[in-house]
A = this chain, B = another copy of it.
Amino acid sequence: MEYKEAKDKFINTWGSLGSLWGINKAMAQIQSLLFISTKPLSMEEIMEELHISRGNTSMNIRQLIDWGIVTKELIPGERKEFFTTEKDVQELARIVAKERSRREIKPVIKVLEEVSTIKDDGTEKTRELIKQTKALHDLAATADSMLNKMVNQKQNWITKSILKFVK
């Protein structure tokens, strides 16, 4: 497999995985492109490379900046803006986990909390609702907390002792 093919394959596959980390395709592809680029890229270069419109590029870059994954790079003597992405996978994972937690998981946990603390009127169905949402709440809260803690261990959290620990 040659460079070009490998590159396209990477961008497409990683891009399609966007759903897994909760962002859209174009966004994921722009990030992918920057991730394997050896230098900052301009909007022009990005739209050409991915065959997407100027508007689309602009909107998605902004979102990536909101996420804290991409940053503007000022290049002396250049009028255009250039962009780079966080290159360290660990740090990337940290940011993504944190954002998803904040945007999606935390709000759900809050609702589970609310629902699981309604007044027990003694009926079977209310009891079941309380019991099950409480169980989900505990699972979600603990998983969320774990995820954040793991991903915050700046030093190669993943390669070291945890794996050993979970057997």
Contacts and interface: CB of A to CB of B under 8 A. Distances in A.
A102 interface: no
Contacts of A22: 19-20
Q: Secondary structure of the A side of the interface?
A: helix
Interface string A37-69: 110000000000000000000000000000000
A133 interface: yes
A104 interface: yes
Which 10 residue pairs of A and B lie closest in terms of their CB atoms, listed nearest first?
Answer: A13-B111, A149-B166, A89-B135, A89-B139, A6-B115, A6-B118, A142-B158, A10-B115, A36-B129, A1-B118
6 contacts: A1-B115, A3-B126, A6-B118, A10-B115, A87-B132, A149-B166
